[in-house]
Chain A
Amino acid sequence: MDLARYHRLRSAYYRLEGQRCTSCQAVQFPARTTCRICRARTLEPHRLSGRGTVYSHAEVGPAPRGFASPYLVALVQLEEGLLLTAQLTDVDPEDVMIGLPVEMVTRRIQEHGAQGYLVYGYKFRPILPRRKAS
């Protein structure tokens, strides 16, 4: 990814920051100049919950240059109802299924060679299992 583009999109990449329309309350991701529902320009930054479920998934192998393998891609349905394409991480291909609850994590998504810059961005992983509260 181009360094200037990466820099411009960092709020979206690092923390899933999209927009909320102050006219109709619709939430959208990524940011646009107008509301996707009512076309208003009254948009404010809005951070998505980062929680959702796997809507569909695919294994893209072998990974493109600069990406880690295995490279699992999913369409994630967020709690807000939005659908988002993202890589999955911390999961083996055989454990991915439709409906799997996932949460957003910020990970390395690309390395421009051993000397170049690193691209960080959102991925999704199965929700970390937690012990019962003591």
Chain B
Amino acid sequence: MRSAQPVGIAGYGAYVPRLRVRTSDISNAWRPRGAIAPAVAEKSVPGPDEDVVTMSIEAARTALDRAGTELERIGAVWVGTESKPYAVKPSATIVAEALGITPHVVAADMEFACKAGSEAMQAAVAFVGSGMVEAALAIGMDTAQSKPGDALEYTAGCGGAAYLFAAAEDALAVVEASVSHVTDTPDFFRREGAAYPEHGGRFTGEPSYFRHTRAASRRLLEDVGAGPEDFAHAVFHQPVPKFVEKVASELGFTPAQIDTGLVARRMGNAYAGSSLLGLAAVLDVARPGDRIFFCSYGSGAGSDAFAFRVTGRIEARRAGAAVADYLDRRQVVDGYGRYLQLRGKVRRG
């Protein structure tokens, strides 16, 4: 897909909370001695005063500061998440108010499991590319949910990133094209009122993550007439690092191309924030002229793939906190009990 007018990223910002839990603490609580080591060593955990709204506000402030766009020019804000603080009440209006961009702004929360953030990116490109608004903010952010003792609990992390899309002539990275690939796949779901999501056993992995990621990625490569070797970096959705390593290799990307964007190694899977955070880590080091390959995945299921080309503006748009700064800022919580308390899985009676 291509917008009528060329569009790009004018500013970006990331957020990862300060707290971490060691997955060995989770493993000690649930798994027999000698069980295989968890897929990541530690994962990010929100502080007691953090949620998707507060995390989105911080990432978006960085994006807006870097873009330097006048606030009146921002005409849309979407928050893609599967951990909204309210079941009914948009997170996006709180975020918009905190940024000072209300009231003449389109605002809503996007929902599509881990692809909700890239869904917001597609919408932002379309709104700007059609000329309906001058700039649009797309956020992917999660405090990922997992049931105590479930396999997901070893990787469900927290974080995300915000992207301000605007006309290509003001962009630090231009959108070359995008693709969306969806099918009805019951790999992961949560019914209204259920505290934690369920995953649909045999639908995990090959029929879901791999099939959709490969299909969207191959279609995008065809659309832009490029091969994997034409990209400096490739970023994928990151349920566990080995999924990314496998799908990248199947598509013909090298370990060096996925290394920078694979932030899950240090913080786990930030669900709707995962691939957007990986893209932010890549933009933190990308050079003018670099092409960046991006493909999200969300259960239910689908993938959004984007090809970006970095411009000469990138170096002037990196002030403020980098993804690495957030990953370096870490405080390990004192054991599994404290983690359960922070995640609201146990409450004071």
Contact = CB atoms under 8 A, between A and B. Distances in A.
Nearest to B319: A133
25 contacts: A11-B97, A14-B97, A14-B98, A15-B97, A15-B100, A68-B49, A69-B48, A89-B47, A89-B49, A90-B18, A92-B331, A105-B58, A106-B58, A107-B50, A107-B54, A108-B48, A108-B51, A108-B53, A109-B49, A118-B85, A120-B53, A120-B54, A123-B49, A129-B328, A131-B325
Interface of A: 10-11, 14-15, 17, 47, 68-69, 89-90, 92, 105-109, 114, 118, 120, 123, 128-131, 133-134
Nearest to A68: B48
A17 B100 contact: yes
User: Which of B49, B97, B329 lies at the interface centre, i.e. has the most chain A CB atoms within 10 A of its CB?
Assistant: B49
Contacts of A120: 53-54, 94, 98
A105 B49 CA distance: 11
A108 B321 contact: no
B62 to A, nearest CB: 10
Interface string B305-345: 00000000000001011101110110100000000000000
A133 B284 CA distance: 10
A106 B51 CA distance: 11
Contacts of B18: 90
Contacts of A68: 47-49
A105 B98 contact: no
Q: Is the interface of B mostly helix, strand, loop or mixed?
A: loop
A47 B324 contact: no
A10 B97 contact: yes
Interface of B: 18, 47-51, 53-54, 57-58, 85-86, 94, 97-100, 284-285, 318, 320-322, 324-326, 328-329, 331, 347
Contacts, number: 68
A47 B331 CA distance: 31
In order of increasing CB-CB distance, the 7 nearest A-B pairs are A68-B48, A14-B98, A107-B49, A108-B49, A106-B57, A130-B325, A107-B54
Contacts of A69: 48
Contacts of B57: 14, 105-106
A12 to B, nearest CB: 11
A47 to B, nearest CB: 7
Nearest to A45: B100
A106 B206 CA distance: 40
Nearest to B342: A68
B325 A128 contact: yes
Contacts of B321: 128, 130
Contacts of B98: 14-15, 106, 120
A1 B56 CA distance: 23
Contacts of B322: 130-131
Contacts of A107: 47, 49-50, 54
Contacts of B86: 118
A65 to B, nearest CB: 10
B53 A129 contact: no
